[in-house]
Amino acid sequence: VRAGMVSDPRKWNWSSYGATAYAVKPPAFLAVDWILNQFAKKKNAARAAYRKFVADGLRRKEETPWGKLTGQIVFGGSEFVAYIQSRLSEAKEIGEIPRAQRFPGRPPLADLFPREKALDKAVRNKLIQTAHMRYGHTLKEIADQLKIHYTTVSKVVKDRKN
| Amino acid 92: pLDDT | 54
Residue 98 in any domain: the answer is yes
pLDDT, averaged across the chain: 83
Q: Give the span between the Cα atoms of 16 and 21, in whole angstroms.
A: 8
Q: Note down the domain range covering 75.
A: 65-106
What is the tens place of the pLDDT at every residue in 67-120?
A: 676 666 677 777 777 777 666 665 555 556 666 667 777 888 999 998 777 888
112 and 162 together in one domain: yes
84 and 125 together in one domain: no
152 and 137 together in one domain: yes
86 and 112 together in one domain: no
What is the tens place of the pLDDT at every residue in 16-69?
A: 999 999 988 988 889 899 899 999 999 999 999 999 999 988 887 666 666 676
* Closest among 126, 63, 130, 65 to 103, alpha carbons compared: 130
102 and 90 together in one domain: yes
What is the tens place of the pLDDT at every residue in 128-154?
A: 999 988 888 889 999 999 999 999 999
Residue 58 in any domain: the answer is yes
26 and 52 together in one domain: yes
Residue 139 in any domain: the answer is yes
112 and 161 together in one domain: yes
20 and 45 together in one domain: yes
58 and 87 together in one domain: no
Number of domains composing the chain: 3
87 and 136 together in one domain: no
Residue 100 in any domain: the answer is yes
Residue 57 in any domain: the answer is yes
30 and 57 together in one domain: yes
Neighbouring-strand partners of residue 74: 70
Measured CA to CA in angstroms, residue 77 lies from 9, 11, 64, 90 at distances of: 30, 35, 16, 22
Residue 136 in any domain: the answer is yes
* Closest among 69, 75, 88, 72 to 135, alpha carbons compared: 88
Residue 2 in any domain: the answer is no
| Amino acid 47: pLDDT | 96
85 and 116 together in one domain: no
